[in-house]
Structure 1
Amino acid sequence: MATENSDARGNDSSLWARLGWFRRSSRRTRQEELTRALIHQLSCVTDEIRHANLLQHHRITADETDRAMADPALAAVMSTLPGLSDNKRRQILYVNRRYATVMLGYRIGSYGWDELIGHLRVLGRNSVFAEYWQATSEHRRSLPNQSLEARVGRAVDVIMEELAEDPDEWWVVGPPPEPDS
């Protein structure tokens, strides 16, 4: 009989030990789930802050561009292209601002790659944009090869080549390369 009691107590102890392990395991699992959720939320907040910073930077740049377009002396400071008339310089500054706005929409997630390319196809039909794009080709050569600006630049180069070959079928041009993530 003494053996039965010690076996029963041993089984009770084993059961309590297993329950304790289960509780610790469940607690650890719950802590891991909470940590993952917290990291995800922190990542979302970080993205929102980055987007807010991009928007603020765009506002500052747009304000500077507005002032430059209104004052030829400031436009000469902002523009790096030589030999432009005041009107042409204002057009180039504005088309650069328009390009930056389209890029901003992609950067903050307002639309994806395909829609970005669609906006750029339409913009590429504009003769001032075509002139701007050609005049700034050297600027783009200085970009890091894998940067978003460089990847978009290569896609726009393809768009501009296709538009030059057949401007009447701008909507039929083949898809530019996907972004290299």
Structure 2
Amino acid sequence: MVTRKKITGRFGSAAAGMLAATAGVSLAARRRLAAARARQLELDETALRRTSLAHQQRMHWELLTRALDDPSLAEVMDPYDKGIPAERRRQFIYANAWYVYLYHVHQAGLVSRDELYAALREYFQSPIFREYWEASRHMRASLDADSAEARMGRMVDGLVEDIDAADTDEWWVVGTPPSD
């Protein structure tokens, strides 16, 4: 009898060990599955955000296009000084459309910071674009200082200062994009 108890005890220990190992594997598998589900939810959320952003951009462009096509509609959302001629204010709306476009393609990761900076450097060669930037200063002042849009605005302010201070006609080499 004693021998049987020892054998049974050994089998019992082996079975208990197998159960513990199985439970450990099962727990690890559940954790991996939970982590995979969490990653998928995160990917789904990112895709939804991108889809929503793309929709918002299309709507923004549609509204701006209507305002550009119909001066009476441009008056509805015209935040610029009324002392500026209507034609120039419409040009500002168009400049803003380009600026917002550049902001969004950068935020979507379609252009790098250096590519964004190069495009802005080119756009700010236009006197009208520069005038738009100055006329919209009050709008940028209301942005949350930590927002991506405010950071881009500060980057552009620095670029404009660099362009103004440059003593070269080679505008395409003026300034260095900040690293932040």
Give CA deviations for 1:98-130 in whole Å, capped at 9, x if unaligned: 111111112222233333223222222222211
Identity of aligned pairs, percent? 32
Which structure 1 residue ranges, 5 or more long, are not aligned? Answer: none
Inter-partner Cα distance in structure 2 for 1:178 and 1:41: 31
Structure 1 runs (4+) deviating above 3 angstroms are none
Q: Report the residue type matching 2:46 in the other structure.
A: D
- 1:88-167 paired onto structure 2 within 5 Å: 88-166=88-166
CA apart distance, 1:156: 0.8
Q: Does 1:44 pair with 2:43?
A: yes
Sort the Cα spacing of 1:73 and 1:27 in 2 relative to 1 into closer, same or farther, 3 A.
same
Point out the more displaced range, 48-57 or 112-121: 112-121
Aligned residues: 178
Sort the Cα spacing of 1:6 and 1:69 in 2 relative to 1 into closer, same or farther, 3 A.
same
Q: Which residue of 2 aligns with 1:6?
A: 5
TM-score normalised by L of structure 1: 0.89
Higher helix share: 1
User: What is the CA RMSD across the aligned residues, in angstroms?
Assistant: 1.7
Q: Which residue of 2 aligns with 1:54?
A: 53
Sort the Cα spacing of 1:114 and 1:31 in 2 relative to 1 into closer, same or farther, 3 A.
farther
Q: Which residue of 2 aligns with 1:19?
A: 18
Q: Which residue of 1 aligns with 2:74?
A: 75
Sort the Cα spacing of 1:109 and 1:5 in 2 relative to 1 into closer, same or farther, 3 A.
same
CA apart distance, 1:16: 1.0
Inter-partner Cα distance in structure 2 for 1:19 and 1:124: 71
CA apart distance, 1:97: 0.3
